[in-house]
Amino acid sequence: MSGILPGNRNLLQLDNITQPPALVIRGKHDAFYRVAEAPCYKRDMPDAEIHILEADHKLPESHFEEVAPLILDFLNRKIVSGYHPA
C-alpha cells in the first residue's frame, strides 16, 4: 500500500492493521441507539472498549466530565503510546 502522506511518511501503515483501536461510549437512556446494541461491537472488534453511562443521546455534551477522561485515557493508551496490533 502506498503512503498516505507525500514522501512515504505514513501516519498509519494501514496494510498492517488487523483491528484499529475502538472506543464505544453510549448513554444508557439513548432514544436513538439501544444500549443492548453496544456489546455487538465486540463481535466485529473483540478488543473494543465499551462504556455505558447513565445518560441520553447527548452524552458528550451532558456528561463531558465523565466522557473526556475516557477519551483521553483511550488516546493515551492506544494512540500516543503507539498502536501495536497483535
The pLDDT tens digits of the residues spanning 8-32 come to 545 555 555 567 889 999 999 999 8
CA 21 to chain centre: 6
- CA angle 51–56–59, rounded 5-degree value: 60
Three cell numbers, residue 75: 488516546
Give the global pTM. 0.69
With pLDDT > 70 as the criterion, what percentage of the chain qualifies? 73
Burial of 57 (0-12, 13-18, 19+ CB in 10 A): middle
Residue 2 has pLDDT above 50, yes or no: no
The pLDDT assigned to 85 comes to 58
Query: How far, in Å, CA of 23 to CA of 78, rounded?
Result: 10
Residue 52 has pLDDT above 70, yes or no: yes
Query: How far, in Å, CA of 17 to CA of 14, rounded?
Result: 5
